Structure 1
Amino acid sequence: MSIGCILLIIVLIALVLYAIQQKKQAKKAISLSKTFGSWAPSTKDNGGAPQLKGARWFSYDELKKSTNNFSETNLIGSGGYGNVYKGVIPGGPMVAIKRAEQGSMQGGFEFKTEIELLSRVHHKNLVGLVGFYFEKKEQMLVYEYMSKGTLRESLSGKSETRLDWKRRLRVALGCARGLTYLHELADPPIIHRDIKSTNILLDEDLTAKVADFGLSKLISDSEKGHVSTQVKGTLGYLDPQYYMTQQLTDKSDVYSFGVVMLELVTAKLPIVKGKYIVREVRLAMDKTDEEEYGLRELLDPNLKDSFLTGFGRFIQLAMQCVEESAADRPTMSDIVKVLENILKSDGLHTSSSSASSSATDFGSSRVASKHLYNEAGLQRIDSASLDYSAGYNISAKVEPK
C-alpha cells in the first residue's frame, strides 16, 4: 500500500507539473499573438502598453490592405531598417509605412520607447506619427505622407521640386523651429542626434518637417544638459566635440543643422571626394564680397545670379553653428530669431512673434584648431566606434524615415 501511494503521488506531481508547463506555453503563445504581449507591466514604467498621445494601433490586415499586400508598386523607400510603403488608410489620410525586416527589428522596450517619443511630440515642423503595429514579431511605424520628398532630393535635382533662395530660407527656418521645440518645449527635452538633409522632409506646401527619431535621446534633469552615450550619427554631420567626448548635447544638433545650412547654399553633400564642406566654405569665405561672400565657386548653380537676401548673415550663422566648441554655437531659438530677421528684412511673413536678432550676437567665427574632419580630408575612423544611421533611398514622391 505504501509503495502504491508513493507511485500515485509521483504521478499526481508529474501531472501537475505537466499542466503548469502547458499553461505557461499557452500563455506565451497568447502573448505573442497579442499587441504588447511581451511588455509586461512594471513599477519602473519600463513595460506595458505605450503611453500614446495621438497615435493609434493598426491591425496587420489594415496595413496589408492599405499597401495592396505590401506590393512593389507601393514601395517608396528602402534601407538597413527595412522598407517604406505608401498606403491609404480607409476613411483616413495617405500614409508612409516603415516596415522593419526581421534582422533589424528593435527589442520591445526600444520600440515602445520610440513610439512613445514620437507620439508625444506634436509640431508643424516635425513629421507626425499616425500609428504603429507590433505583433507576431512584426514592427511597423505609420507616418504622415510627405509628397515632396526629402530636402536632399530637391537639392540634388532628383526631385521635380526646385527651391529658390527664399524657399530655402523658409526650409531652414522650419527645421530650426522644429528643433527648437524638441530642445526647449518638449518635456523632457529631446536631442534628435541625426539631423541631415535626408531627414528633412517637404510637404505639398514645401513646409519643412524634421523626421526619423530613431537615434533621438531624452535629456532628464539629472543629466544637466548632456548625455554620456555611445557616438551615433552620420559622418559629415557629426559634431566633432560629441565624437571626442561622447557627451551629447543639444548643441550637437546645432552643429548638424549648420552643415545642412551649407548644403542649402551649395547643394553639395557634406563630404565629396575627401573634401569637407565646412572647411571648403571657411577657406573660401570673403566678407568683403557683400553679395556672394566669396563663395561663387561653391554656390549651387541654381542660385547663381539670383538676389540672395541676407546671404552674408546666413553664412555667418551657419559657420557659427559649426564652431568646434559647443559653447561657441548659438542655440536653436537664437537661430530661429536670426532666420526670421533675414526673412523679415525682405518683407516676408514668418508667422512668428519672436524678436529679431543678428548673427553677430554670437561672436565671430573662428577656425577650429582640432577637428574630426582634418585638413587632409577625413580622419580614419574605426567603424566599430561609430554607428551610422541607416538611411533610406526614397523616391521624389515620398518620404519618411
Structure 2
Amino acid sequence: MASNFIFLICLINLVAIVKSQFPTEIFIHFDCLDSGRYTSTSTYERNLNTLLSSVSPNINTNGFYNNSIGENSDRVNLIALCRADLQPSQCREYVKNATAEILKRCPNQKQASLWHEFCMVRYSNKAIFGTLAISPMRSGHSGENVTNTVVFDRELDVLLNSLHDHVAFNSSSKKFAGATRHVDDPNHPLISAFEQCTPDITSEECGDCLNKSAQYIRECCEGARGVRVLSPSCYLRFETDPDPFYNVSMVEAVSQPPTPPMPPSPQSPGNGKNTTRTIIIVILPIVVCLILALCIGIYLKTKKMRKPREKVDLDEEISTVESLQHDFGTIRVATDNFSDANKLGEGGFGVVYKGKLPNGKDIAVKRLSHDSGQGNLEFKNEVLLVARLQHRNLVRLLGFSVEGNERLLIYEWVQNGSLDRFIFDSNNPCLDWEKRYIIIGGVAKGLLYLHEDSRLRIIHRDLKASNVLLDGEMNPKISDFGMARLFVPSETQHSTSRIVGTYGYMAPEYVLHGHFSIKSDVYSFGVLILEIISGQKTYNFRNGESGDDLISCVWKNWHQETIANIIDPALRTSSGSMRDIMRCVHIGLLCVQENATDRPTMGSVVLMLSSFSLTLAVPSRPAFFMSGSFHPEISVLHKTHSSPDQSDSTTHLSTNEASMSELYPR
C-alpha cells in the first residue's frame, strides 16, 4: 500500500515536471472583485472590450500599458504589465492571451485582476493609475519544502533585501531585478529570485509593496522551495531550481543585479530546453522517488527538530535597534552642543535642532523633554515601530540616541522647512496652484498611509501647516506622526481626558468630548485645504469687518456662490485652475462637516482628488468654534471641560507642538 502511494506521488511529480519542461498549461491566477457587474451590450462592456483589444498592439517597449476610456460610471481604467525579462514580441503575445482570458474568468465583472505566467492585466471602474495597490495579495507555491528552513530563510532574506532597493530605485524605466544566491544546503544549493513593480508607482511605494510581499511569504508559504507572491502593484518570485527561471541575459542587459548571478546559458521564457537537460530533469525525480521509497520507514520515525523562528526574529530585532542607535556624543557634536544657533523650533515635547553628521549628512534632532515615563527598553521598542513607518509623504525617523535622562530622535533633514512659511509668510516665495495641489494630494496620501496602509494604524491629532514639511522639490512630508508611543498619555483608542492639539484644527467631537478617530484627522485635513487655498490661518482669519473665522466664511461664500472672495489673490489670475480650486474647496467642506460620520475617509479623499469624473456629495453644515468677535480660545475650551465629573481635566493647547498620535497594531 505504501509503495503504491509513493509511486502515485512520484507519478504526479513527474507529470508536473514534464509539464514545466513542455508546457501545455500556463500558470494563471485571477481575482474577480465583488464591486458590481455590468450588463451585456452596455456602454461599460463596449469600453472594456475596446480597451482590452488595445493592449497588445500598444504596450510599450518596457512591457507596460495603462489607459482609460469612458466617462463617469462607464469609465474603465486598465493596467497591463509584462515580466521584465520578455522580448517585446513575447510580451505582446502573452498579454493578448491574458486580455482574452480575463473576460472568460471574470465575465461581467466591473473589476478584475489576472496574473499570467509572464504578465498581469488589471481593470477597474475606479481610479488605479499611480496608486499603490497591495491588496488583493495572492500566492502560489511548490508542493515541496526545503530541508533546512532556518538556513534557507536566512539566505532568502539576504537575497530579497539585496533586490529590494535595486528594484525600487532602479535607474531603468523598468522597476525590476533578478539575482541568485548560494545556500549551504546540499539539496537546494541555489536560490533564484525576481522582483518587479509597476512603473507608475513611486520608489517608496514600490519598496513598501515588496516589503509586504516578502513578509507574506512567512504567512502563506513558510519553508516552500518555490513561491510566487502576486499583488496589483508588484510581483515577487523565488525558486531553487538549478538554473534561474528568468531570462538571465535579458536581466543583465538592462541592469546589474545587486548580487552576482550564476552564469547559466541565456534563455527566453517559453523556449524549449535542450534535449540533454530535459532527460536529466525528467529522470532525476524517478531516482529520488526510489530513494524515498527505501527510506520511507526511517523518514516516518524521525522528526526533524527545528530551530524556533522566534529566536531568528529576536536576533533581527536586536540588530535593527542597534543599527538605529547613534552615539550621543556624535549627535552632541553634530548640533554644536545643542546651540541656540542651530535651534529650529520648540514644541510641547522638546526642542528641535539642525545637525550635520561626520559624513556630511544634514539631520534634524528632537531633544525630548524628560517626562516620558518610559524605560530605555520600551523607548527603543517604540522607536523601532515608528522607524518602520516609511512613506514618501512622511518625514523619516533615522534613529535615536539615549544617555541617562537624555533622549534624542534623529530625523531626515527636510530642506524647505514647514508649509506655513510659504502660505502665510509674505517674505517667502508664493506657491502657485500646481505646487499647492501637489501638496494637498501628498498630505492626503500620507494620512491615508497612516490610517490604512501602515503596519500600525495612526491617528495624528495635530495635523497643521507647521507640521507639514517641504523637501527640495516642494513635496510635502507629514512630521511628528508617532509621538504618542514615545510618551504615555492617559487615554484609550477612542477617548481622552487630555486634549492636546492646536486650536482651529481640532475636530469638535475631540474638543468637546475628547473623542478622536481617523475622522478627527480628516477634519484637520479639511482645515488645511482651506488654509492652502485662502493663504490665511484659520484661527486668525478676518474677512473685512465681519470677524468670521475661515470655515464660516468659506461656508457663507460657498452658498452665495462667491467663493472667489476667499481664494488667495495670488491664485485668482489663473482661470484655468479655478475648476480644480473649486473642487478642492468642495472637498475641504466635506472634510469639516460637523457630524464626523458624514466626513469622508482619507481613501475617499484621495480618490476625489485624483478622479475628476467622480461626483462629490453636497456638504452639510461645518462645525464653527469662532463666530463674530468672540475670540478667547482657551476660555471656551476650558469651560467645555468644567463639568463636575471632569473638574480635574486639563486642556493643553499648542501653536507648534509635536503631535499626539494614537498607534495600535492592526
* Other structure's SS at 2:611 match: helix
Correspondence for 1:246: 514
Cα distance in structure 1, aligned partners of 2:505 and 2:481: 16
Pairs within 5 Å for 1:164-313: 164-213=432-481, 216=484, 227-230=494-497, 231-272=499-540, 275-286=548-559, 288=561, 294-307=562-575, 308=577, 309-313=579-583
**Alignment CA distance shift 1:54-1:195 (3 Å):** farther
Correspondence for 1:65: 333
Higher relative contact order, chain-length normalized (CA < 8 Å, sep 6+): 1
1:386 to 618, 640, 651: 651
Cα distance in structure 2, aligned partners of 1:69 and 1:158: 33
**Alignment CA distance shift 1:197-1:137 (3 Å):** same
Pairs within 5 Å for 1:366-377: 366-368=620-622, 371-374=624-627, 377=630
* Other structure's SS at 1:313 match: helix
Kindly provide the CA deviation profile for residues 271-318 of structure 1, in whole angstroms up to 9, marking residues without a partner as x.
116642111110122575xxxxx1333221221222324122111110
**Alignment CA distance shift 1:248-1:80 (3 Å):** closer
Given residue 585 of structure 2, which amino acid in structure 1 is its aligned partner?
A: I
**Alignment CA distance shift 1:255-1:53 (3 Å):** farther
Query: Which of 1 and 2 has greater Rg?
Result: 2
Correspondence for 1:323: 593
* Other structure's SS at 1:69 match: coil
TM-score by length of 1: 0.71
* Other structure's SS at 1:142 match: strand
Tell me if structure 1 keeps the 8 A contact 2:367–2:407: yes
Cα distance in structure 1, aligned partners of 2:327 and 2:470: 28
Given residue 301 of structure 1, which amino acid in structure 2 is its aligned partner?
A: P
* Other structure's SS at 1:235 match: coil
Deviation at 1:229, TM superposition (A): 1.9
Cα distance in structure 2, aligned partners of 1:166 and 1:244: 37
* Other structure's SS at 2:556 match: helix
Cα distance in structure 2, aligned partners of 1:259 and 1:54: 40
Correspondence for 1:340: 610
**Alignment CA distance shift 1:136-1:169 (3 Å):** same
Cα distance in structure 2, aligned partners of 1:296 and 1:180: 29
Cα distance in structure 2, aligned partners of 1:85 and 1:63: 10
Cα distance in structure 1, aligned partners of 2:627 and 2:571: 29
**Alignment CA distance shift 1:176-1:139 (3 Å):** same
Cα distance in structure 2, aligned partners of 1:72 and 1:311: 41
Tell me if structure 2 keeps the 8 A contact 1:147–1:202: yes
Deviation at 1:217, TM superposition (A): 7.4
Given residue 341 of structure 2, which amino acid in structure 1 is its aligned partner?
A: T
Cα distance in structure 1, aligned partners of 2:558 and 2:426: 29
Correspondence for 1:351: none
Q: Does 1:357 align with 2:627?
A: no
2:388 to 96, 120, 126: 120
Given residue 386 of structure 1, which amino acid in structure 2 is its aligned partner?
A: T
The RMSD of aligned alpha carbons is: 3.0
Cα distance in structure 2, aligned partners of 1:226 and 1:63: 35
Kindly provide the CA deviation profile for residues 20-72 of structure 1, in whole angstroms up to 9, marking residues without a partner as x.
xxxxxxxxxxxxxxxxxxxxxxxxxxxxx999679711111110121222233
Kindly provide the CA deviation profile for residues 331-367 of structure 1, in whole angstroms up to 9, marking residues without a partner as x.
101111121235xxxxxxxxxxxxx634x1xx21122
* Other structure's SS at 1:198 match: helix
* Other structure's SS at 1:336 match: helix
Tell me if structure 2 keeps the 8 A contact 1:175–1:209: yes
Tell me if structure 1 keeps the 8 A contact 2:502–2:656: no
**Alignment CA distance shift 1:52-1:321 (3 Å):** farther
Amino-acid identity (%): 34
Deviation at 1:371, TM superposition (A): 4.6
* Other structure's SS at 2:571 match: coil
Given residue 424 of structure 2, which amino acid in structure 1 is its aligned partner?
A: S
Cα distance in structure 2, aligned partners of 1:159 and 1:184: 38
**Alignment CA distance shift 1:216-1:270 (3 Å):** farther
Correspondence for 1:151: 419
Kindly provide the CA deviation profile for residues 241-267 of structure 1, in whole angstroms up to 9, marking residues without a partner as x.
222332211010000000000001111
Given residue 298 of structure 1, which amino acid in structure 2 is its aligned partner?
A: I
Given residue 130 of structure 1, which amino acid in structure 2 is its aligned partner?
A: L
Tell me if structure 2 keeps the 8 A contact 1:54–1:130: no
Deviation at 1:196, TM superposition (A): 0.4
* Other structure's SS at 1:189 match: strand
Correspondence for 1:106: 372
Cα distance in structure 1, aligned partners of 2:606 and 2:323: 29
Given residue 614 of structure 2, which amino acid in structure 1 is its aligned partner?
A: S
* Other structure's SS at 2:637 match: coil
* Other structure's SS at 1:170 match: helix
Correspondence for 1:141: 409
Cα distance in structure 2, aligned partners of 1:89 and 1:227: 40
Q: Name structure 2 gaps, 5 residues minimum.
A: 1-316, 640-648, 659-666
* Other structure's SS at 1:382 match: helix
Cα distance in structure 2, aligned partners of 1:51 and 1:339: 41
Cα distance in structure 2, aligned partners of 1:285 and 1:173: 22
Cα distance in structure 1, aligned partners of 2:594 and 2:611: 25
* Other structure's SS at 2:461 match: coil
Correspondence for 2:81: none
Given residue 555 of structure 2, which amino acid in structure 1 is its aligned partner?
A: R
**Alignment CA distance shift 1:133-1:50 (3 Å):** farther
Given residue 365 of structure 1, which amino acid in structure 2 is its aligned partner?
A: P
Corresponding residue pairs, total: 316
Tell me if structure 1 keeps the 8 A contact 2:458–2:481: no
Correspondence for 1:78: 346
Tell me if structure 2 keeps the 8 A contact 1:193–1:217: no
**Alignment CA distance shift 1:65-1:212 (3 Å):** same
Cα distance in structure 1, aligned partners of 2:366 and 2:479: 12
TM-score by length of 2: 0.44
**Alignment CA distance shift 1:172-1:327 (3 Å):** same
Given residue 280 of structure 1, which amino acid in structure 2 is its aligned partner?
A: C
Correspondence for 2:50: none
Cα distance in structure 1, aligned partners of 2:602 and 2:493: 16
Q: Name structure 1 gaps, 5 residues minimum.
A: 1-48, 289-293, 343-355, 394-401
Tell me if structure 2 keeps the 8 A contact 1:194–1:234: yes
